Amino acid sequence: MSVDAAIARARARPPLASCRRARFGCDLPARASTSRARLGTFHTPHGAVRTPAFMPVGTKGTVKGVFPRDLAAVGSTMILANTYHLHLRPGEALVKELGGLHRFMDWDGPILTDSGGYQVFSLGHIAKIDDDGVTLRSVVDGALVRFTPRGVVDIERALGADVAMAFDQCPADPTHRADVEAACERTRRWLALCVERHKELGGEETGQALFGIVQGGIFADLRRANLEAAVAHDLVGYAVGGVSVGEEREHVRAGIDASAPFLPEHRPRYLMGVGTPEDFFDAIERGIDLFDCVTPTRHARNHNAFTSRGKVNLRNGGWRADASPLDPECDCIACARYSKGVLRHLCTSEEMLGPMLLTLHNLRFFHRLMERIREAIAADRLAELRAEVLPPMSGRRSPAEAGA
């Protein structure tokens, strides 16, 4: 079957939400007329996610520095956990024995588990890839660990997330065609094995969906071919992988352009590992619905905050006596109750409260931006919002500029 025929067949399928027995679905009530931006709702057994949406990352079973109740308070609806790290410690069997990932993370909303494919990429120096899977060293004790497509599905089923990502290979260099071709072929074959195992375990009727991942680097033809193989499985959702791994921004855009427009209309589209305001606008304008990244939490732990007036480094001595809020447009607790001077003191004194407050602020900043983006899509003014908010928030704010 040709790429176009496969895509046409996938687009012709009814939305999952129209199936009486389906536990998953994606409603798309509105679209922008001036871009491919979509406004929708992704339904899961643990609740609905309004899209576009940002998903905080809880690698080892917790979003660092945040109580689960506070995650919900700042606007989080769906969060991530990491299959590789949870397999190493404490192990999926123990997570299952302790009640599953939702109880383990004390989170009642939807959870997505990645497959460990990114760790294969990022830990390439201690990983050996073959056609059947990956052998790599544990970052916990150095022991050899084996990951296979069917084995990863077993791990994710035991963890019990709402969405399990298929095991894929992310090429180390998205511009090296031979390597990308090999990664695409493995991703295609591994996805078939993941789907096979997922169905053997009961499929979506168990309350867990499987998302496929589209690879292809910067090459449009490879992405289209990999996409054809993925959509042929008629999965609940699809991810665009292998972007934002060190390549130029235009290559990221090219990878999205070669993937997102051709994915099924009534399935959520997830861009993996992308997380800056400019990235969001670029991808949402191209039809992406879901995002994840460690950017807001990692920046907070390094005492950096995103604000409507630019990024702020709270270790800068110029903020020492600044009595103004971190961001006057933000409604988070850090901005409502603390000044930049107090936040700087907490950060420079190595008090845990500093990074905790900045984490809450950065997550709220990201979620508020998504709220505004959803409103703009509904009003068909996404381009105007981008022109209004992106320039001031993209720079770095200094005490001199702030008049401190």
> Which residues are known catalytic residues?
114, 292
The H or E element containing residue 55 is strand 53-55
- Characterise 99 by phi-psi region: left (phi > 0), alpha (psi -120 to 50), beta (else): left
Q: Which of 359, 264, 374 is nearest to 305 (CA)?
A: 359
Give which of 279, 261, 292, 275 is closest to 37, Cα–Cα. 261
Closest to 341 in 3D by CA, of 259, 383, 248, 404: 404
- In 3-state terms, what secondary structure has residue 9? helix
Cα 50 to Cα 68: distance, rounded to the nearest angstrom: 19
Angle in degrees, 0-180, between the axes of helices 249-257 and 277-284, rounded to the nearest 10: 30
In total, the chain counts a number of residues equal to 404
Distance CA 281, CA 382 (A): 8
DSSP label at 204?
G
Determine contact, residues 316/345, Cβ cutoff 8 Å: no
Amino acid type, 127: A
> At 361, which helix (H) or strand (E)?
helix 353-379
DSSP H helices, 50-146, are 68-73, 83-88, 92-97, 101-105, 117-122
Which candidate, 197, 195, 247, 239, places its Cα nearest to that of 217? 247
Q: Is the peptide bond before 90 cis (omega within 30 degrees of 0)?
A: yes
Angle between helices 220-231 and 177-200 (to 10 degrees): 10
CA distances for 29 relative to 32, 144, 239, 374, angstroms = 11, 48, 21, 12
Look-up of token digits 């997102």: 260
Q: Which distant-in-sequence residues (6+ apart) come within 8 Å of 80 by Cβ?
A: 55, 56, 57, 58, 59, 111, 112, 113, 114, 292
